[in-house]
Structure 1
Amino acid sequence: MTAARLVLAIAGAAMLTVAGCSSWREKPPQLMNLRSSTSGPDEFAIVPPKALELPEDLALLPEPTPGGENRTDPRPKDDAVVALGGTPRSASPAVPAADGALLAHAGRAGVSSDIRLALAEEDLDYRRKNNGRLLERLFGLNVYFRAYSRQSLDQQAELARWRAAGAGVPAAPPPNSSR
């Protein structure tokens, strides 16, 4: 009877140990986790409105249209494009004439409408095949950097190569930077 109790005690201790290790799992980098896993508000979805302005001549105000745009509606993407010296897409929805040849060349072999889904599936398959560690597969750890390590660029060696070639390098990675 004591042997059965000993086996049960060891099995119970093993189960508690494994259950206690659940918080030790490797957390994926935030840059690869664009969706929030919390139920709280998304601070990036809240954009304050622009300040109200009173034009010098009230006749310059556009006629209100139901469902139309408001001069104080936030348009952060368009504002960023303007700040960088471009023309917002909403002002010019068509592809600029200067980019026509580039667009034609990029789509010369056809365009896949489900490219994001296909790439995500291929990436997951590649990481599964190149992750030879059984424990990582069992516990669902993030192995992104380990799977692609053979394809990564040695930043310091590349910096030295370009500097030796006489190229101006405006920015450089810090030495011994880690991910």
Structure 2
Amino acid sequence: MARACILLLVSALVLAACGGDNYRLNKFISDGTPEEFGIVPKEPLEIPDDIRAQSLPQPTPGQANRTDPQPLGNAVEVLGGNRAALNATGVPASDSALIAQAGRFGVAPNIRATLKAEDEAFLKRAKLFNVKLVRDDEYRKAYRRFILDAAAEILRFRRAGVRTPTVPPQQ
């Protein structure tokens, strides 16, 4: 009898600890304070050699400021990439064959809206059969059967005789 009472009390305390309005799926979600690593200093001001009005760059309203931080561009440049490729618009000529192959059966102009509607309908159907006592990641639970297991896929490919050179060797 005493064990049953203790078990009931512990169960009630565990369930009570799960409640509250401040439940977060991710414990790293900001609580309103600034993130230390999100603060990026401004680039240094550039002073031209000739400070006449004709030599100064024209202002570009609505565009990025020359002193605005560009951490992604800096990282690409440090790693040996082309910073200008980040601002490229359109499809590069090197990708034209890939785009032609991907669109060979036609392209739906409103694919994003269609996928969003289908995803919402799928999640709505999945919630009908989702009885829950404790909050859980609904999205992950709904798509659980579609998640690929990388290790199992590698084994499947190796058993089929497919070479997997980029995968670490078998132990």
Fold agreement, TM-score > 0.5: yes
CA drift at 1:80: 3.6
Structure 2 counterpart of 1:158: 153
Aligned residues: 145
Runs of 5+ unmatched residues, structure 1:
1-16, 173-179
1:102 aligns with 2:98: yes
Structure 2 counterpart of 1:119: 115
Q: In the alignment, which of 46, 65, 71 is matched to residue 39 of structure 2?
A: 46
Runs of 5+ unmatched residues, structure 2:
1-13
**SS of alignment partner, residue 40 of structure 2:** coil
**SS of alignment partner, residue 132 of structure 2:** helix
Structure 1 counterpart of 2:166: 169
| Structure 1 residues 23 and 169, CA gap change in structure 2 (3 angstroms) | farther
Q: Over aligned residue pairs, what C-alpha RMSD do you find? A: 4.3
Deviations for 1:92-116, whole angstroms, at most 9, x for unmatched residues?
A: 334211223433554532322x71x
Contact kept, 8 Å, 1:25 with 1:141, in 2: the verdict is: no
- Give the whole-Å Cα distance in 1 for the aligned partners of 2:24 and 2:168: 29
Q: In the alignment, which of 58, 62, 86 is matched to residue 65 of structure 1?
A: 58
CA drift at 1:43: 5.3
Structure 1 counterpart of 2:137: 142
CA drift at 1:63: 1.4
| Structure 1 residues 161 and 19, CA gap change in structure 2 (3 angstroms) | closer
CA drift at 1:151: 1.4
CA drift at 1:53: 6.8
- Paired AA for residue 38 in structure 1: D
Deviations for 1:6-49, whole angstroms, at most 9, x for unmatched residues?
A: xxxxxxxxxxx98764149974357xx9xx56333355653222
| Structure 1 residues 25 and 43, CA gap change in structure 2 (3 angstroms) | closer
TM-score for both structures, normalised by structure 1: 0.54
CA drift at 1:125: 2.9
- Give the whole-Å Cα distance in 2 for the aligned partners of 1:110 and 1:120: 14
**SS of alignment partner, residue 134 of structure 1:** coil
CA drift at 1:140: 5.9
Structure 1 counterpart of 2:72: 77
Q: In the alignment, which of 129, 133, 143 is matched to residue 130 of structure 2?
A: 133
